[in-house]
Structure 1
Amino acid sequence: MSKRYTEATFEAAIEHSLIADGGYKQGDPNNFDRERCLDPTVLIPFIKETQPAEWEYLTNIQKERTEETLLDDLSRALNSEHEGCLMVLRHGFKCFGKLFRVAYFAPASSMNPETKRLYEANRLTVTRQLQYSEKHNKTLDLVLSLNGIPVATAELKNPMTGQTWRNAVHQYKNDRDQNDLIFKFKKRALVHFAVDTDEVRMTTRLSGRNTRFLPFNRGDGTGAGNPENPGSYKTAYLWEQVLKRDSFMDILARFVHLQVEERRVGGKKIRKEAMIFPRYHQLDVVRKMVLDAREASTGNNYLVQHSAGSGKSNSIAWLAHRLASLHNDHDEKVFDSVIVITDRRVLDQQLQSIIYQFEHKQGVVQKIDRDTKQLVLALAKGVPIVISTLQKFSFIVEQIQKLRENNEIPRDLLDDDGILPARNYAVIIDEAHSSQGGESATDLKGTLAAFQIRDKAGEYAAEHNLPDYEGEILRTMAKRGHQPNISFFAFTATPKYRTLEVFGKPGTDGKPEPFHLYSMRQAIEEEFILDVLRNYTTYKTYYRLIKSIEDDPEVDKKKAARALARFMSLHPHNISQKTEVMVEHFRTFTSHKIGGRAKAMVVTSSRLHAVRYKKEFDKYIAEKGYTGIKTLVAFSGTVIDPDIPGKEYTEVGMNDGIREKELPERFASDECQVLLVAEKYQTGFDQPLLHTMYVDKRLSGVQAVQMLSRLNRTHPGKEDTFVLDFVNEPDEILAAFQQYYEQATIGERAEPRQLYELQAKLDAEQVYYKAEVEEFCRIFYKPRINPTPVDHAKMNTCIDPAVNRWLGL
């Protein structure tokens, strides 16, 4: 192979791009302090330039030992378990009582020239073939440093010489010692890239052969990989965009964070840490939405179709933080508050943890976990980021009235009409398929845009001399429409037609499409989720398979085949027979999966079926004397079995006192193996050990996708999944998944004229009379908070004649 096409040529091309166009300087490997694992010839001049007073203070005390003292204290902070590289980069370190900064990040606005000057003083360097350890002379192809501190490494391979990114991954796993300081978790480099001319992989933690490298590719169409890049490398985006000075500084400041998970196992607290570096699609979607919101200001909708496995929680957290501090070209804040709508309890913890690492201060995020009063006060005070469920907005008008009457809210936080002052809001919706419609969504818009709605409707009513009830009709109609002070950022893996209509942007064919897409196909191909349809089978197919095993003379002697043949001949129709099939299948095929930790879910058709399945499972397991299989059941409310009068069943009671909030954690433990569900855990339930699903319920469309997708989470040792379906047809399930495998589409768009056509038909049949409609409106839109029982009766009186006419058609 000609020298023009070697790995060194590839290395030189990246270095040249970073220095010529990326804002880097060339690092000298001879200046690298291998003991401290940093370059003092870059760090010390940076500190002298940006912090002259602190440097002079230290010099007066330490004299000729000033540099050594500073470098020793910096090394101690970098090597500390409680500080580490990321925290020191963001918040500095102490030396002789003074705070020294080792980096300055870009401010949210340009109002302070000094912060801009300090940001521009940062020195990014790229060093080739760096000998990084005292213990040996091994070298790294590329090391990127910020003010002399290594923050990223890269091993490069050139397919033209017969090596790819896989060889770079092998090199990191087998030839790089995780105990060398540059690779020590949290201590120095925060990310490591395995790069060739076609693809990129990354990791934030070296763990020998157990190291997990993640794809860092743009995606090719709706699949994995990278598209062609005429005139350059497919992976040029890495150094030309992602690692470019301003981009990389932004990632270090506002994306990278330490994720900490704590749980108790056998009374002992287990702490698990992971350094999170954004995947390409996460970086891309957050930046594109922020840029659009900055340029377009408020009043816009954004739909993000990101598959399970996309890291949606982190994307939402990063977006919320960025929007809360977003300024436009005039250095004005774009949004006064960011509201995150979610039903997931874990999301608020992630948000608070991530944003505290960025801001290092409390009070930026408030979770609404008590009542609507808490929500009212948070909105009135203008808390930067508020996390709430959508349902709490349904009661907000009544709550504001109560708080005002009881003097529980300062008068200066609301105007004279008891509404929020004119403000701009960003509303981030987690799982948009279940949150975009209904009265709760209307109440949310009505609350956040109350100031604008009141003024706009009031002007129109005054101009046209409308009575009070018609003014109230105008306000109600306005609540349902577009609100110029609210931007919606909606996330979902499975957008329904209605979701596309509300939040999508017009495509080339005029139909709405997502603002950003990370498809199920790409997530499967990149191995972030498993393909749950690969081992999907109906009971009829499964029975034929087992029967063929039974009839095969070569296999018939096997004990497992004989046992299966017995219960497969049951042709189960009732719960007890299906229970036997499920339990025996679990014990025979599932229980040994994932190192013996695999779990199963039974999807039942109703709460009553869930109760009966729970009783049958426990009865069958007890009769057989089986161990290693214990069940939990999940359903809401209280269930009465008509076959057992007087007996009431609740989830907590059937689970031996385990509370609803505790159930996911208990199911995650080695104590429980099977979860029986009825209308619960269809979305937002993330259990990687879930391997098998038994379906005894009709599923269709998005519901089928959401339900079966509970299985797709990856876990070490989890190589496949299994679905045994007693009810549905394979073609229907496949068709449901096809809709979301690449990009959701919409059929016929909703047309307002369809409503007018319906109105014309009803008018022609004289189903209702104008006087009845007007009388109903006078009552319904009275200027009061709650209707009286008399009002309710009068409204029914208005409706009943129209109902009778309709029934008589």
Structure 2
Amino acid sequence: MGTGSGKTITSFKTAWLASRMPKVDRVVFVVDRIALTKQTNENYKAYDPDASEDTFGSVQNTNNTTDLNRKLKSKDNSIIVTSVQKLDTLVKRKTFKAPDKNIVFIVDEAHRSTGGDSFKNIQKAFKKSAWVGYTGTPMFDETTTGLRTEDVFGPLLHAYTIREAIADRNVLGFKVDFETTIDEKKMKEKYLPAFYRERYPKWTEEQIQEKVNNLSQEDMDDAVEPSFYDENLDHIKLVVEDIFRNWRNRSNEGKYNALFTTHVGGSKASTPMAMMYFNEFQRINEENKKNGGQTLKVAVTFSQNSSNNDSMLATNQGLHDAIKAYNAEFGTSFGMDDVSGYTQDVTSRLNKSASDGNFLDLVIVVDQLLTGFDAPELNTLYVDRTLKGAGLIQAYSRTNRIADMQEKPWGRVVNFRWPAQNEKLMNKALAIYANKDSAVLSQEEQRKSNQKDGIIAKPFEDVFNEVKQIVGKLSSLTTEFQQLPPSEKQKDYMLDLLREYNRGMAKLKQYDPEEIDGEKVGFNYDNPDELVEKLGMTSDQEVMLTTVLTNELKSHIAKEKKIPLYQIELKMTHVKDVKVDYDYLTELVEQLLNQVHEESK
């Protein structure tokens, strides 16, 4: 099933129905990590028809491995929610003996934690078991060299792709940008030579130049090789500067928040780079506090390092500093003895479920929260790493949950390294998971197919021109925004055009400004009339269209069709505030009198 398209409720229904089958003794829902058991347990309880304020219903959580063992052997038919880690620990116990019961295991995120020996041993331990897997990103021949998902769970039962989910409006498509922090000339003349000189001190200048001119896919994949982007302070500063500069547009004036992921190559720890980003955000925040600029509430979260390796001290010191800054921002008191509590609190402020209503703008991660994390009011993922295949789909899908389809028309993704290579990897991953047969298409065909299916957004210029055409049609219909059209058919057409105009304006507000015909065009929160005028309206005409004429049209249609006004679905996109005072009202009355005078001539 496409990520975000309703796997949780579908899997719950499967579990609930299975638990009521006469030959099924137990149903166990398995999540791929302990951190998700709480979220799944709460979601399941919300769907459970047997639950009420006074009763626990059909769903039971497991506090620890012993609790899991006891519940597996109990006689009731409730659904157990547990993690693959607890199951693994349980079956490794020398004293463990599987209950003589028919158990149905339903596995969430079935592409993860299922390909190794641990999962194979869990399946072997429960002799009388059936296994059902749910995933938005199954492992195919094209996406893995290891076990495919069907090797673990058997043949595919049902598929509902991301393309179908977008068409059904169950999830959003994506608006994906590929930014260049350091242009190709500087990269090839300065940064790449310096990087390879340091990495290969015995290489000649000719060898270094040969490498710079012939980078392989592996050189641009931080899962394989390090690159000049890693721990590069110049790059980090440019990325953070871009985020601050475009924050209002991308976040819809702060209505939505963001996730940021970074990773370094060559088996080095990525946490120091995450901390470099956190420190740069803090530095800019301090500067902006002094000069009255934009500030953002930022946190960073990653796992505590207990491996005793070279990076342990730096990782844990970074985490300590991040928690200390977080406590100061939110009045909490987490310490290194409760990192999991800190992570849960960060999660609640990112998905806007924190009880005090004090939320985060942006969270920096390495790998945490990139799968299985639901936050409908998160709309942007910033990516400073290489993503591909299932990992790319999972990470991108943190942004495309439905909130308000007009105010949040898509999930927003901004990539900051290797733009051409990462665009190629994106088109391939989206094409495979939208339609497996698309894997054979060329890169350009994949891009066009993804755009046609609404999986990725159209370029700014296309949307701008579409909205400009709509404005032209509305102008003709309303005699340059002065009056409603005379016929009922034209009024209905005007309503359709207004809906299209609203959807288009909501999108244009969230693009970064771009050049069209040599001029920079985009939505400027400090001067919204700029875009309005480029679309072919004056500021006054835009106000007339979106207030006076829109309200007249809704009232007319409500009266003609004998329906309440509130049933006419037409939500106007907020472009600017209009100060309604004595002067404004006087001006409107004068315009109205002049119009009446002209018509009576």
TM-score of the superposed pair, with normalisation by structure 2: 0.53
Aligned residue for 1:347, secondary structure, equals helix
Given the superposition, is the C-alpha separation of residues 364 and 687 from structure 1 closer, same or farther in structure 2, using an over 3 Å criterion? Answer: closer
Aligned partner of 2:323 in structure 1 is: 652
Alignment of 1:665 onto 2:348: yes
Aligned residue for 1:603, secondary structure, equals strand
Of structures 1 and 2, the one scoring higher in RCO (CA 8 A, sep 6+) is 2
Aligned partner of 2:123 in structure 1 is: 445
C-alpha deviation, 1:397, in angstroms: 4.3
Q: Please identify, of 577-586 and 607-616, the stretch whose mean Cα deviation from structure 2 is larger.
A: 577-586
Task: Report if aligned partners of 1:338, 1:386 keep a CA contact under 8 Å in 2.
Answer: yes
Task: Report if aligned partners of 2:231, 2:273 keep a CA contact under 8 Å in 1.
Answer: no
Aligned partner of 2:273 in structure 1 is: 609
Alignment of 1:318 onto 2:8: no
User: Could you list the per-position Cα deviations for residues 534-581 of structure 1 after superposition, in whole angstroms to 9, with x for gaps in the alignment?
Assistant: 43324279999xxxxxxxxxxxxxxxxxxxxxxxxxx98864433433
Choose the corresponding residue for 2:84, options 375, 384, 390. 390
C-alpha deviation, 1:386, in angstroms: 1.1
Aligned partner of 2:162 in structure 1 is: 520
Aligned partner of 1:585 in structure 2 is: 242
C-alpha deviation, 1:735, in angstroms: 0.8
C-alpha deviation, 1:642, in angstroms: 6.8
Aligned residue for 2:48, secondary structure, equals helix
Given the superposition, is the C-alpha separation of residues 587 and 745 from structure 1 closer, same or farther in structure 2, using an over 3 Å criterion? Answer: closer
Task: Report if aligned partners of 1:324, 1:335 keep a CA contact under 8 Å in 2.
Answer: yes
Q: Give the distance between the partners of 1:690 and 1:486, measured in 2 at CA.
A: 38
Task: Report if aligned partners of 1:376, 1:400 keep a CA contact under 8 Å in 2.
Answer: no
Q: Give the distance between the partners of 1:644 and 1:397, measured in 2 at CA.
A: 34
Matching of residues 517-596 of structure 1 within 5 Å: 517-532=159-174, 534-539=175-180, 575-592=232-249, 593-596=251-254
C-alpha deviation, 1:599, in angstroms: 1.8
Q: Give the distance between the partners of 1:310 and 1:687, measured in 2 at CA.
A: 13
Given the superposition, is the C-alpha separation of residues 435 and 645 from structure 1 closer, same or farther in structure 2, using an over 3 Å criterion? Answer: closer
Given the superposition, is the C-alpha separation of residues 523 and 356 from structure 1 closer, same or farther in structure 2, using an over 3 Å criterion? Answer: closer
Aligned partner of 1:488 in structure 2 is: 131
Structure 1 runs (4+) greater than 6 angstroms displaced:
540-544, 639-647, 744-747
User: Could you list the per-position Cα deviations for residues 504-563 of structure 1 after superposition, in whole angstroms to 9, with x for gaps in the alignment?
Assistant: 65xxxxxx5x2111110011122222222x43324279999xxxxxxxxxxxxxxxxxxx
State the one-letter code of the partner of 1:663. Answer: V
Matching of residues 189-200 of structure 1 within 5 Å: none
Q: Give the distance between the partners of 1:423 and 1:378, measured in 2 at CA.
A: 12
- Backbone CA RMSD of aligned residues: 3.3
Alignment of 1:434 onto 2:108: no
Q: Give the distance between the partners of 1:735 and 1:525, measured in 2 at CA.
A: 20
Q: Give the distance between the partners of 1:736 and 1:400, measured in 2 at CA.
A: 43
C-alpha deviation, 1:688, in angstroms: 2.1
Q: Give the distance between the partners of 1:347 and 1:677, measured in 2 at CA.
A: 21
Choose the corresponding residue for 1:340, options 17, 21, 29. 29
Task: Report if aligned partners of 1:535, 1:723 keep a CA contact under 8 Å in 2.
Answer: yes
More strand per residue: 1
Q: Give the distance between the partners of 2:179 and 2:57, measured in 1 at CA.
A: 52
Given the superposition, is the C-alpha separation of residues 518 and 398 from structure 1 closer, same or farther in structure 2, using an over 3 Å criterion? Answer: closer
Q: Give the distance between the partners of 1:646 and 1:428, measured in 2 at CA.
A: 36
Aligned partner of 1:376 in structure 2 is: 69
Aligned partner of 1:695 in structure 2 is: 383
Task: Report if aligned partners of 1:341, 1:429 keep a CA contact under 8 Å in 2.
Answer: yes
Task: Report if aligned partners of 2:397, 2:411 keep a CA contact under 8 Å in 1.
Answer: no
Given the superposition, is the C-alpha separation of residues 654 and 637 from structure 1 closer, same or farther in structure 2, using an over 3 Å criterion? Answer: farther
Given the superposition, is the C-alpha separation of residues 321 and 697 from structure 1 closer, same or farther in structure 2, using an over 3 Å criterion? Answer: same
Matching of residues 112-511 of structure 1 within 5 Å: 306-326=1-21, 333-342=22-31, 343=33, 344=36, 345-357=38-50, 362=56, 364-368=58-62, 370-384=63-77, 385-397=79-91, 399=93, 401=95, 419-449=97-127, 485-497=128-140, 498-503=147-152
Task: Report if aligned partners of 1:335, 1:425 keep a CA contact under 8 Å in 2.
Answer: yes
Q: Give the distance between the partners of 1:351 and 1:698, measured in 2 at CA.
A: 34
State the one-letter code of the partner of 2:50. Answer: Q
State the one-letter code of the partner of 1:536. Answer: D
Task: Report if aligned partners of 2:380, 2:411 keep a CA contact under 8 Å in 1.
Answer: yes
State the one-letter code of the partner of 2:25. Answer: D
Q: Give the distance between the partners of 1:700 and 1:429, measured in 2 at CA.
A: 23
Aligned residue for 2:45, secondary structure, equals helix
Aligned residue for 1:535, secondary structure, equals strand
Task: Report if aligned partners of 1:531, 1:712 keep a CA contact under 8 Å in 2.
Answer: yes
Q: Give the distance between the partners of 2:316 and 2:97, measured in 1 at CA.
A: 48
Q: Give the distance between the partners of 1:596 and 1:646, measured in 2 at CA.
A: 31
Choose the corresponding residue for 2:257, options 586, 593, 599. 599
Instruction: Please say which structure displays the higher CA radius of gyration.
Output: 1
C-alpha deviation, 1:627, in angstroms: 4.1
Given the superposition, is the C-alpha separation of residues 400 and 645 from structure 1 closer, same or farther in structure 2, using an over 3 Å criterion? Answer: closer
State the one-letter code of the partner of 2:318. Answer: Y
Aligned residue for 2:252, secondary structure, equals helix
State the one-letter code of the partner of 1:423. Answer: K
Task: Report if aligned partners of 1:608, 1:641 keep a CA contact under 8 Å in 2.
Answer: no
Aligned partner of 2:299 in structure 1 is: 632
Aligned partner of 1:286 in structure 2 is: none
User: Could you list the per-position Cα deviations for residues 206-226 of structure 1 after superposition, in whole angstroms to 9, with x for gaps in the alignment?
Assistant: xxxxxxxxxxxxxxxxxxxxx
Aligned partner of 2:471 in structure 1 is: none
Q: Give the distance between the partners of 1:646 and 1:310, measured in 2 at CA.
A: 36
Task: Report if aligned partners of 1:340, 1:386 keep a CA contact under 8 Å in 2.
Answer: yes
State the one-letter code of the partner of 1:502. Answer: D
C-alpha deviation, 1:382, in angstroms: 4.0
C-alpha deviation, 1:381, in angstroms: 1.4
Q: Give the distance between the partners of 2:359 and 2:401, measured in 1 at CA.
A: 20
Gaps of 5+ in 2: 141-146, 186-227, 264-269, 328-332, 335-341, 353-357, 441-601
Task: Report if aligned partners of 2:260, 2:382 keep a CA contact under 8 Å in 1.
Answer: yes
Aligned partner of 1:802 in structure 2 is: none
State the one-letter code of the partner of 2:7. Answer: K
State the one-letter code of the partner of 1:318. Answer: K
Alignment of 1:621 onto 2:290: no
TM-score of the superposed pair, with normalisation by structure 1: 0.40
Aligned residue for 2:246, secondary structure, equals helix
C-alpha deviation, 1:376, in angstroms: 0.8
Task: Report if aligned partners of 1:336, 1:423 keep a CA contact under 8 Å in 2.
Answer: yes
Choose the corresponding residue for 1:718, options 408, 415, 427. 408
Aligned partner of 2:521 in structure 1 is: none
Q: Give the distance between the partners of 2:229 and 2:61, measured in 1 at CA.
A: 48
How many percent of aligned residue pairs carry the same amino acid?
23
Gaps of 5+ in 1: 1-305, 327-332, 402-417, 450-484, 506-511, 545-570, 748-809
Given the superposition, is the C-alpha separation of residues 645 and 705 from structure 1 closer, same or farther in structure 2, using an over 3 Å criterion? Answer: closer
